[in-house]
A and B are shown apart, each in its own frame.
Chain A
Amino acid sequence: DVKVTQSSRYLVKRTGEKVFLECVQDMDHENMFWYRQDPGLGLRLIYFSYDVKMKEKGDIPEGYSVSREKKERFSLILESASTNQTSMYLCASSDPGTEVREQYFGPGTRLTVT
């Protein structure tokens, strides 16, 4: 089974702090994604990556950056956390070699910025 793990289930940070959210997948997937989930808004794509050191902006990249130094790891960085970044963050991965390219999700990190 594909396993996607995220470094923390719950995180509380202060406004202005730099925050790192880590995601690791164990299926050698090339594609990795970061979403945020907010009530009524569904999942919105922040950034995604097709390969090591490759990244593409999603729909809401402002205030975020990402890093992919190794194939299995995709990090989301909040350079200076703000209260409007309080949310559930979900990481996902997929295999571009399959036709359907379904995405596999981690358990999520609930971030609170105070």
Chain B
Amino acid sequence: GDSVTQMEGPVTLSEEAFLTINCTYTATGYPSLFWYVQYPGEGLQLLLKATKADDKGSNKGFEATYRKETTSFHLEKGSVQVSDSAVYFCAAKAAGNKLTFGGGTRVLVKP
């Protein structure tokens, strides 16, 4: 079946540092790929998405590029803020309506 693997956290950074969260997937065909973010005490919000190879999703300074050759969708941000402290989930949607999620990566940004 489909699976998504992302780096375990927690990731602790200082403000203005560079953030990378690795995500790789296995799926039938060419899935749509997503990054969701969960702020403390809240549900998940869609952060960005990409639907085909070489697409780049971007939002709020975050970026991720759909790499078919490495089956990856790594999340990056050049300069993090304290407000970026959250749990980040990578997800893949192959055929059908179901999403497969990674285990989540907790990010803590210190001032």
Measured CB to CB, the residues of A under 8 A from B are 4, 31, 33, 35, 37, 40-45, 48, 50, 58, 90, 92, 94, 96, 99-108
The CA of A50 and the CA of B96, in the complex, are separated in Å by 11
B34 and A42 within 8 A (CB): no
Query: Which of B32, B42, B93, B102 interacts with A42 by CB under 8 Å?
Result: B102
82-111 of chain B: CB within 8 A of chain A: 89, 93, 97-99, 101-104
B42 and A107 within 8 A (CB): yes
B103 and A40 within 8 A (CB): yes
Query: Which of B44, B97, B102 interacts with A105 by CB under 8 Å?
Result: B44
A40 and B8 within 8 A (CB): yes
The CA of A100 and the CA of B8, in the complex, are separated in Å by 27
B98 and A50 within 8 A (CB): no
A48 and B103 within 8 A (CB): no
Residues of chain A within 8 A (CB-CB) of B103 are 40-42
B49 and A102 within 8 A (CB): yes
Measured CB to CB, the residues of B under 8 A from A are 4, 8, 32, 34, 36, 41-46, 49, 51, 89, 93, 97-99, 101-104
Query: Which of A48, A90, A105, A106 interacts with B98 by CB under 8 Å?
Result: A48
The CA of A101 and the CA of B91, in the complex, are separated in Å by 12
Sample 26 A-B pairs with CB under 8 A, ordered by A number: A4-B43, A31-B97, A35-B101, A40-B8, A40-B104, A41-B103, A42-B102, A42-B103, A42-B104, A43-B104, A44-B101, A48-B98, A50-B97, A58-B98, A90-B43, A90-B44, A100-B93, A101-B32, A102-B34, A102-B49, A103-B99, A105-B44, A107-B41, A107-B43, A108-B42, A108-B43
Residues of chain B within 8 A (CB-CB) of A43 are 44, 89, 99, 101, 104
A106 and B43 within 8 A (CB): yes
The CA of A48 and the CA of B99, in the complex, are separated in Å by 11
